[in-house]
Amino acid sequence: MVEGAIWNVITLNFDLALSHALSAIGAKNQVCVINGPEQHHQLGRSNIIYLHRSIDADPEALILTTDALETAWRDKWEAWVATWALAAPVTVFAGLGSSCGVLRHTAEKLRSALGNNVQLLLANPGEHSKSNFATEMQIDKTNYVQLGWIAFMRVLGNRFHLEVVQRIVEECEALSQREGWVDPDTGRLIEDVGELAKRLSSMDILTFGKLRAAWLLESRAYPKLEDSHCIAIADLLLAVAYVSRSCNRGFRFDEDGHVIFTGTDIPESRIRLVDGSSRNYRWLTIESELRLEDQHRRFGREGARHVLACGVTGRRPESATPPESIVDEVDASMSIVDGDSAFSFWGVDDIRIEPQASEALLS
């Protein structure tokens, strides 16, 4: 819903699981939660609609009785909002084992008015022949997905994640062509974009969202992917591929925003990746953000002392500012407060321009 792949979710449940899920990824301001007709004016681009009210509502307003479920909704808010939401090109019913009067009536009206221009599907873990809802809604086998709600959403999330990866791969290819990072003899891209795609595709949508949030220095666990993010991510990924190739190292990504370079009989090198373009960050601002991040890092989680960034405003500093310590002859790594907090900064262009920069980055 944050990405706009789903417009609306209508739930017949009273519990707040969906609302809590939005809070968990920091998306409550991106998706509207409608608990009843009194919040109708808050409808937005994407909405979670509690058709029968949520548990926070007045107990008298909860739709519980047979009469309320089958007939009392007629000419009421429930009928209007169901028609509005189900008028989307594709509607998926999930986890519905029995009839719901307002949904059945709305689906019949839409089919009558729009015919094949509206598609109704049902996701349900049981067999099609045993689904009363499928029979009542006249949903045939071709529009029946034999999956439960959670499994169906995972499949949908993975499908969308692959589309996201493809967008980034295309941006990597376009950037490589634009900058001339192409073998002049074969015309092939110098960096292994296929390997980058493989690493990203192995994640799920939430893991990659958390990784993107770390690169963007976002406080939210899942930021919406913008076109500008794709460009910056492509720049970072191609820099990672360049270091991997030039230093003959393998690599993997950590959801905390790090890339870990690996090699045979060589200590791992942990590099923090940062995109400074989304908020017009300067180097000192990034340093401040990373110091704060170190202070909040979970016990036992290793940080990085080298930073590889793209899109940062201003000249790259030669060393950390302000000074690490005002006390001479003190080993900063022995500090019980934050240990060795010095950062070295590298831009994605630095590693291509400066000789031995990649090796220095991994040192």
Q: How many other β-carbons are positioned within 10 Å of the β-carbon of residue 165?
A: 19
| CA–CA gap between residue 86 and residue 107 (Å, rounded) | 7
Tokens representing 288 are: 């401040």
Of 296, 242, 300, give the one whose Cα is nearest residue 271: 242
Q: In what order do the strands lie in the sheet with 144-145?
A: 90-94, 119-123, 144-145
- Within the chain, where are the H helices? 17-24, 66-70, 77-86, 101-114, 132-137, 149-179, 193-201, 205-215, 227-247, 283-296, 350-353, 357-362
Tokens representing 34 are: 């409608």
Identify which has the larger pLDDT, 331 or 51: 51
| Mean pLDDT computed over every residue of the chain | 86
Looking from the CA of 210 toward its CB, the CA atoms found within 13 Å total 11
pLDDT above 80: residue 257: yes
* C-alpha torsion sign, points 83, 85, 91, 97: negative
| Across 19-27, average pLDDT | 89
Helix (H, G, I), strand (E, B) or coil at 350: helix
pLDDT above 60: residue 321: no
Cis check: omega of the bond before 89, within 30 degrees of 0? no
Tokens representing 134 are: 């499928």
Instruction: Report yes or no: 205 and 277 within 8 Å, Cβ to Cβ.
Output: no
Torsion angles phi and psi, residue 333, rounded to 5 = -70, -15
Per DSSP bridges, beta strands 32-34 and 90-94 are: unpaired
Indicate the pLDDT class of residue 124, thresholds 50, 70 and 90.
Answer: very high
Q: In what order do the strands lie in the sheet with 32-34?
A: 8-11, 47-50, 32-34
Identify which has the larger pLDDT, 342 or 19: 19
Convert the pLDDT of each residue in 32-58 to its tens digit: 999 888 999 999 989 999 888 888 877
| CA–CA gap between residue 160 and residue 146 (Å, rounded) | 19
| CA–CA gap between residue 21 and residue 149 (Å, rounded) | 14
Torsion angles phi and psi, residue 172, rounded to 5 = -60, -45
| CA–CA gap between residue 116 and residue 87 (Å, rounded) | 12
Indicate the pLDDT class of residue 318, thresholds 50, 70 and 90.
Answer: low
pLDDT above 80: residue 83: yes
Convert the pLDDT of each residue in 292-313 to its tens digit: 887 776 555 667 889 999 999 8
pLDDT above 50: residue 336: no
Of 338, 351, 220, 201, give the one whose Cα is nearest residue 273: 351
Convert the pLDDT of each residue in 142-171 to its tens digit: 999 999 989 999 999 999 999 999 999 999
| Percent of the chain whose predicted confidence (pLDDT) is above 70 | 89
Of 303, 308, 342, give the one whose Cα is nearest residue 323: 342
pTM of this structure: 0.84
Identify which has the larger pLDDT, 46 or 333: 46
Which residues touch 109 (CB under 8 Å, ≥6 apart)?
Answer: 83
Query: What pLDDT score does 251 carry?
Result: 94
Across 64-68, 80-84, 157-161, the highest mean pLDDT is recorded for 157-161
The residues spanned by each domain of the chain are 8-151, 168-362
**Bridge partners for 48 per DSSP:** 9, 33
Indicate the pLDDT class of residue 338, thresholds 50, 70 and 90.
Answer: very low
Question: Of 38-42, 208-212, 329-333, where does mean pLDDT reach its minimum?
Answer: 329-333
Indicate the pLDDT class of residue 191, thresholds 50, 70 and 90.
Answer: very high
